[in-house]
Structure 1
Amino acid sequence: MTIEAVVFDMDGVVVDSEDYWREETANILAEAVPDADVDPAEVVGINVYDQYELLQEAGHDLAVDREGYFDLYNRHASDLYTEKAALTDGFHDLLADVEARGLPVGLVTSSFPSWVEMVFERFELDPYFDVVVTAGGEDVPGKPEPDLYELAAQRLGVDPTAMLVVEDSEHGVAAASRAGAHVVGYSHGASADMDHSEADAVATSPAEFRERVLARLD
């Protein structure tokens, strides 16, 4: 299948933020579920509201309501995206390479629209992206379900099987794979110990990440 569009996850792919989020998530879970030891890896890559529902379904006694759980995340987002998280090395160059091949570019993320805006403004990314799909802005199931990627394909005007997707989390890889996309798993930092077996290829560094993407496009 010829690749007709390239789609990136945000946290851990566009920006190196997953290590920060994993630390913050551990603190958030300790506050939200004080009577249970919940591994942050269980919720990495999943929309905040879906996390809350998963914790409820698991029978945990939550100390905050649904909006309170979001607020715990949201109060950390500004500092993380405007100060701490760095753009993945060589990402602007990779976007230029994709643009030179005449392919549209999309973003599919479990983050919220306001968080994406912070990242796009700080790193001047808006001109490169044709479609942005956020779990917080769509009324469809989030990752690991395939719906967000299917929606991105629809808006990009391509079949899901014609998309190349880069994802770092286990849930994100599963979502893109289930949509039928060609998936490059980016295994590094907080995601290095996750299961990337559903990916078609795996990269472990920014240089290899770029190499894997361009090799599939060519």
Structure 2
Amino acid sequence: MAESALRPIESIPAAVLFDMDGLMLDSEQAMLETWREAALAESIDADDSLWLAMVGVHDRASFAMLTQRLGEDAATRLRDTSYRLYDQRVVAGLPRKSGLLELLDLLEAHGIPKAVATSTRRERALSKLAASGLIDRFAVIVTGSDVEHPKPAPDIYLLAARELGVDPRRCLVLEDSEPGVRAALAAGAMPIQIPDLIEPGEELRGFGHRIAASLEQVREMLAGVLGGGGASAVAVRG
């Protein structure tokens, strides 16, 4: 894939809002693996494309997609078995994405507020963050349990900004998925997308948001504008 220069960040953000799955935690690969295990255990024909279509989608909407495709009985069995297998991995602690801790250190060193804004329901989100050693790094954690309308609606990012006491239009949002990018844009925030398992399609790229290859590159961008070292523009996907 051709690379181009990522536009530098022009000003210091009032806050940085983090998605969780696929952005901070290497959880989407774990979800895909447990999906495959559950489908095999339940003798259900459910290929990877169905699961990938649900990446970044709220639990209620993803179960509706499953039910439409597989029927309620098979969808329920597949969901429950995959959740059970996945919960075992959550308890063990999901791997953190490369560069995450260094990025958090940089923001804390410069006093930049930060929040988690995840579509995952609260109980599971807190479990993931705790098991991965991240829960104490965020004063504000907003989940899918806290809003009426999940991503791609802007509610979760508007609430995160409000709880931090900042203008959402001055927030930097870090996302991996299309629904999350759309939610950030709808909130008036500035998203940087770091794709995980799914590359952004042409329609999403048409929004013109920044698309980085890694959290390390995001850190370099922020270090440039914060004066903490690093380049203010880096090579990215796109």
Q: Give the aligned partner of residue 44 of structure 1.
A: 55
TM-score scaled by length of structure 2:
0.75
Seen in structure 2, the aligned counterparts of structure 1 residues 213 and 44 have a Cα distance that, compared at 3 Å, is farther
Residue 149 of structure 1 aligns with which residue?
157
Cα distance in 1, alignment partners of residues 71 and 211 from structure 2: 36
1:41 offset after TM fit, Å?
A: 2.2
Pairs within 5 Å for 1:75-90: 75-83=84-92, 85-90=94-99
Larger radius of gyration: 2
Distance verdict in 2 for CA 1:61–1:167, change over 3 Å: same
* Alpha carbons 2:91, 2:128 under 8 Å: kept: yes
Does 1:74 find its partner at 2:83?
yes
Which residues of structure 2 form unaligned runs of 5+? 1-10, 228-238
Q: Is 2:147 aligned against 1:120?
A: no
Aligned to 2:218: 209
Match of 2:17 in 1: 7
In structure 2, give the amino acid aligned to 1:45. G
Aligned residues: 213
Structure 1-normalised TM-score?
A: 0.81
Q: Is the 8 A contact 1:26 1:39 kept in 2?
A: no
Report the secondary structure of 2:174's partner residue: strand
Aligned partners of 1:8 and 1:14 also within 8 Å: yes
- Asked whether the equivalents of residues 100 and 216 of structure 2 are also in contact (C-alpha less than 8 Å), the reply is no
Distance across 2 between alignment mates of 1:178 and 1:15: 24
Q: Which has the higher contact order (CA 8 A, sep 6+)?
A: 2
Listed as ranges, the gaps of 5+ residues in structure 1 are: none
CA RMSD of aligned residues (A): 3.0
1:46-195 to structure 2, matched below 5 A, reads 46-55=57-66, 59-64=68-73, 71-83=80-92, 85-135=94-144, 137-188=145-196, 190-191=197-198, 193-195=199-201
Check the 8 A contact 2:168/2:189 in 1, yes or no.
yes
Give deviations 1:102-133, integer Å, cap 9, x for gaps: 12110011222232223322333222212111
In 2, Cα distance between equivalents of 1:84 and 1:128: 16
